[in-house]
Structure 1
Amino acid sequence: MPLLSPCDGRVVAIADVRDPTFSAQLVGPGVGIEPVDGRQVVVAPADGKLLKLDPHAFILLVDDSVGVLVHLGINTVRLEGRLFDVLAEQGQSVQAGEPIVAWDPSKITDPDMEGTVVVVLMDQAADSISSDVIGRDIVAGTPLFEWR
């Protein structure tokens, strides 16, 4: 099943994400996206239900069984919602491509934070995804990786 990119940017391998929890795949396999500058509308990467929705991250339950974590930035929980506009509601069913959160990662000024968007298939084996877009630019709503 394909998962779509939630935002525009350049795809990086999860091992290159500057957060040890994500890069070691402790949450699950995935990729990072270095977003383009300017305001971004982050969209649902698949059809599903918003199991958890915080300004800086959301978990989308797909196929009633798999959680997809979309985490906007590294250490951005410390922003306490600043820079984020939540466009959906926790518990809401959404379609792939539907807007969830808007933000401007270029407005991050704290050197301990960065704008990399992490997309992770939670609690799945490292070999459960494949992507042929690592190192490439991507547009929101286009295929990011396949999971099986």
Structure 2
Amino acid sequence: MTTVTSPMAGRAVGLPAVPDPVFSGAMVGPGTAVDPGRAPTVAVSPVDGIVVSLHPHAFVVVDPGGRGVLVHLGIDTVQLNGDGFELVATKGDTVERGQAIVRWDPGAVERAGKSPLSPVIALEASTGSLTGLVEEGTVTSGAPLFVWS
């Protein structure tokens, strides 16, 4: 069982409301999303594990049980070519929950015409394997978003 926590403070939003069919349709896995404040912030690891994929706009951390959690910072933000993002971690790093991974500016993302809404996805999980899914309300960085069993 893995508790997946929020990579940043903001407002929880269910995946059906995410403006990207890959996420809203849970094609890469179930989860939830966080609509961050618009001030510059740091996205932190939602689990203890290893950073197996790291891009300015997205990262995946795999926990000791082999579960991969994707954090995608905004929608269509790959098109920003890293503008407004600064990598803090390195691919291959062993990280603890709450450790900084990427500094970014959700307000700049929004001003560039992209949504800062950030999906947090349990990769290759079945929908029924998540409990306690938070899909609304205010969340703080490090607050539980769901439990993956």
TM-score range, shorter chain: over 0.9
Aligned partner letter, 2:34: I
TM-score under structure 2 normalisation? 0.95
Q: Which 4+ residue blocks in structure 1 deviate beyond 3 angstroms?
A: none
Match of 1:17 in 2: 18
Q: Give the distance between the partners of 2:147 and 2:27, measured in 1 at CA.
A: 19
How many pairs does the alignment contain? 147
Trace 1:1-148 onto structure 2 (pairs within 5 A): 1-108=2-109, 109-111=111-113, 113-148=114-149
Q: Give the distance between the partners of 1:91 and 1:25, measured in 2 at CA.
A: 26
SS at match of 1:114: coil
What do residues 10-69 of structure 1 show as CA deviations (whole Å, max 9, x unaligned)? Answer: 001111111100010000001011001101111000100000100100011112411110
Paired residues of 2:87 and 2:103 also in contact (CA < 8 A): yes
SS at match of 1:73: coil
TM-score under structure 1 normalisation? 0.95
Paired residues of 2:40 and 2:104 also in contact (CA < 8 A): yes
Paired residues of 2:72 and 2:119 also in contact (CA < 8 A): yes
SS at match of 2:117: strand
Considering fraction of residues, name the structure with more strand. 1
Q: 1:80 to 1:5 in 2, by over 3 A?
A: same
SS at match of 2:8: coil
Aligned partner letter, 1:12: V
RMSD, matched Cα: 1.1
Q: Give the distance between the partners of 2:21 and 2:98, measured in 1 at CA.
A: 29
Aligned partner letter, 1:54: H
TM-aligned CA deviation for residue 127 of structure 1: 1.4
